[in-house]
Structure 1
Amino acid sequence: MTEKATRLGWIRHGITEWNSLGKIQGVTDIPLSPEGELQAEKLARRLEREQGGWQGIACSDLSRAARTAEIIAQRLGIPVHRDSRLRERSFGAAEGTTLPERLARWGEDWRRRVPDQESDEQVTARGLSFVKEWTERHAGEAWLIVTHGSFLARMLHALCRGLDDSHLQNVSLTIMENQGEEWTPLLHNCTAHLEEDMERSVTE
């Protein structure tokens, strides 16, 4: 008998005012904007229509991710579990700054020069710790994971090499399936739920 695959549906949280202003957030606890709440509701409606068999949601404990998860969970009728390992990367002194401010202060190589920020290796280590523990505990199940852009980019490429490296959009959905040690992407950085609403408003 073939062992049932484990699925993780990775979601970046809805948009915030700092996202709109181009400010880097990190672990600064910025809430969803009204637009972000609407985005989360659109994704929730898509997931409800698709009936993907999701058994629950694990999310970052930062409010923008936790609120996104709550909106989805309410519509799907599934539980939410918060886990601090799913937090965004800490960007240290760069948090709250715009790109022009970062370039002026640290130059083009600001991602390497900002002091007291969390390293790629640290982000990957805590993310993989979560994935290992969660998939062992929930083997053969399907769970949504609501987290953050920089953290999510590190995790997806740690789990599956060769993925498209494009910017991960707010409320994007990436689904990966695991059997054994290998993760296979079934969907990547998809925001069709936002586009569908736009198309509907044009045709109606």
Structure 2
Amino acid sequence: MTTITFVRHGITDHNIEKRAQGHTQNPLNETGIAQAALVAKRLSEEQWDVFISSDLRRARETAEIISIAIGKPVDLFDVRLREMDRGLIADTIEAERVARWGENWNELDMGQETHESMRARGIDFVQDIASRYVGQKVLVVTHGYFLGETLKELMKDESTGNELRNTSVTTITHNGEKPEYVLYDCVRHLSED
């Protein structure tokens, strides 16, 4: 049985501003760096066989902080773990989209990745990892919306995966059949002294 622990990256200014991040290379802010250090401390209490991260900057920075704490380098930066590609709306907030394209901007083709495509690459990643690293503990740093959509599809439950918090820890076990939650959107490390 493979155990996969997903960590959402630390918070960014884009998160606070509700700015579409997509594939932008924006960094963690000071709070995000502190969050990453706290989750890193928590994760250092366990042994990890494999460590994988999204290649986008905010995830890489989170992974680098975790890497130091757990004493293990990132084994792979996987593009399948990227956030949803936001196309033309990347790096914008709602008011900017309305000013640029009008009130009905969301009815226009903005070149955004479809939910189906994002879910498919998420499922592809989980199935690949579960079959490649049978019986191992895999640590993964990724993005909130991508992870939420992947979990919805994986668990066949549309009520799951909503608004996962920054640096939250979600662990699933996967035996090749039905995946199960061990831990979901846990941020206990953020309330520790």
TM-score normalised over the length of structure 2? 0.89
Listed as ranges, the gaps of 5+ residues in structure 1 are none
Partner of 1:63 in structure 2?
57
Please say if 1:121 is aligned against 2:119: no
Provide closer, same or farther for how the CA distance between residues 132 and 180 of structure 1 changes in structure 2, counting only shifts above 3 A: closer
The answer on whether the counterparts of 1:56 and 1:143 sit within 8 Å (CA) in structure 2 is: yes
- Conserved in 1, the CA contact under 8 Å of 2:97 and 2:105? no
SS of the residue 1:20 aligns to:
helix
Question: Distance between the aligned counterparts of 1:128 and 1:63, measured in 2?
Answer: 23
Q: Which residue number corresponds to residue 26 of structure 2?
A: 30
Name which of 177, 187, 190 aligns with 1:191: 187
Cα distance change of structure 1 residues 106 and 143 upon mapping to structure 2, 3 Å threshold: farther
Residue 114 of structure 1, CA deviation: 5.0
Are 1:9 and 2:5 counterparts?
yes
Q: CA deviation at 1:180?
A: 2.6
State the Cα distance separating 1:10 from its structure 2 match. 0.8
2:173 to 174, 177, 180: 177
Q: Which runs of 5+ in 2 are unaligned?
A: none
Q: Using a 3 Å threshold, how does the CA distance of structure 1 residues 164 and 157 change in structure 2: closer, same or farther?
A: closer
Report the aligned-residue RMSD. 1.9
Counterparts of 1:83-94 in structure 2, within 5 Å, are 83-94=78-89
Distance 2:149 2:90 in 1: 18
**Cα distance between partner residues in 2 of 1:146 and 1:21:** 22
Tell me the CA shift for residue 103 of structure 1: 5.7
State the SS of the aligned residue for 1:182.
coil
Partner of 2:68: 74
Partners of 1:106 and 1:191 lie apart in 2 by: 38
1:21 is matched with 17
Amino acid at match of 1:155: T
SS at match of 1:73: helix
Between the aligned partners of 1:11 and 1:125, the Cα distance in structure 2 is 20
| Residues 188/107 of structure 1: CA separation in 2 closer, same or farther (3 Å cut) | farther
Taking structure 1 as the reference length, what is the TM-score of the superposition?
0.85
Question: How do 1:78-157 residues align onto structure 2 when only pairs under 5 Å count?
Answer: 78-80=72-74, 81-102=76-97, 105=101, 107=103, 110=106, 113=108, 115-157=110-152
Which residue identity is paired with 1:56? V
CA distance, structure 2, for counterparts of residue 64 and residue 30 of structure 1: 6
Q: Which moved more, 1:26-35 or 1:98-107?
A: 98-107
Percent of matched pairs sharing the same residue: 38
The letter for the 2-side match of 1:17 is D
For residues 10 and 103 of structure 1, do their structure 2 counterparts lie closer, same or farther at Cα, with a shift above 3 Å needed?
A: farther
